[in-house]
Amino acid sequence: MYSKYSLIYLRTIDENTIFVVYLISKNMRAVIYARVSSINDRQSTDRQVVDLQKYAEQNNYEVAQVFEEHISGAKRNEDRLILCECLEYCISNKIDILLISELSRLGRNVDEVLANVKRCKDNTLNIYFQKENLSIFQTDGTKNPFLNIFISVLGTCAEMERDNIKFRLNSGRQQYIAKGGRLGRKMGSVKSADKKKEEYKDVLKALRQGLSVRQVAKLTDTSASTVQRLKKEFKL
């Protein structure tokens, strides 16, 4: 269990200068980041959040904030708006540890995961990956020497799996086209600007009020990627 100290009290007893040191322990502050790929009801971040909250309680961590994101794991880190906001929040608020369910939540490939790990290392922000039971810093405060190797191996396996999935999907598409099938949206399926204004009027109203993408997404129960797309499309 990690702990840190907020006060060291030194007291001189006599001319021999005897010091009495009192250490007052202080719970470490943690942030939880949870992500799922689906933006509908088929997947939820609830299980990740509950499991990580239990881990925080077991280790006496004070959970300062919870970030939840619904976005494809294939998206680049710069497109993961909630993840970017989460990391910025942790660093600017000097959070002690970021709790994540697994390594894949931190980037779409090895390079992105390692880049985020390095950023956290440089800012002395620890990360705990629950599935792998790994963290950037060990209990004695030293860097975990096996983390980068472990990330590289897992990341390579994950990329191979994604390549296999892409291959199977492309093969299926080619067979579908060969049999006379047509790809793409059906005629009339693209929403007009007026239809979007009506469907997302609450989102657009909140954006005009100056709320952040994350705030609007949470307030209107809309995915952050959709809010960001609307913000860009309507130049808000």
CATH number at residue 131: 3.40.50.1390
- Cβ burial of 95 (10 Å; 0-12, 13-18, 19+) is buried
- Average pLDDT for residues 41-57, to the nearest whole number? 86
Beta bridge partners, 67, equal 33
Is 220 found in the same domain as 114? Answer: no
Query: What pLDDT was estimated at residue 229?
Result: 87
Q: Which two tokens stand for residue 59?
A: 């280790």
144-183 pLDDT, tens digit each: 888 878 777 766 776 677 777 777 778 777 777 777 777 6
pLDDT band at 68 (very low <50, low <70, confident <90, very high): very high
pLDDT band at 49 (very low <50, low <70, confident <90, very high): very high
The CA distance from 35 to 158, in Å, is 17
Q: Which of 98, 129, 151 is the last residue of a domain?
A: 151
Q: State the pairing for strand pair 22-26/4-9.
A: antiparallel
- Average pLDDT for residues 2-28, to the nearest whole number? 52
Residue 15 resides in a domain: no
Is 200 found in the same domain as 134? Answer: no
Is 124 found in the same domain as 43? Answer: yes
Which stretch of DSSP H or E encloses residue 68?
A: strand 62-70
Do residues 217 and 81 touch, judged by C-beta distance below 8 A? no
- Average pLDDT for residues 28-49, to the nearest whole number? 82
Residue 72's CB is within 10 A of a number of other CB atoms, namely 14
Sheet with 134-135, edge to edge strand ranges: 62-70, 29-36, 97-100, 126-129, 134-135
Rg, the chain, Cα only: 23
Residue 175 resides in a domain: no
Is 205 found in the same domain as 140? Answer: no
Give the domain range for residue 215: 193-233
Is 143 found in the same domain as 55? Answer: yes
- Average pLDDT for residues 16-21, to the nearest whole number? 49
Do residues 112 and 84 touch, judged by C-beta distance below 8 A? no
The CA distance from 173 to 48, in Å, is 34
Is 144 found in the same domain as 85? Answer: yes
**What is the total count of domains within the chain?**
2
Q: Which of 119, 151, 183 is the last residue of a domain?
A: 151
User: Which residue has better confidence, 229 or 127?
Assistant: 127
Residue 21 resides in a domain: no
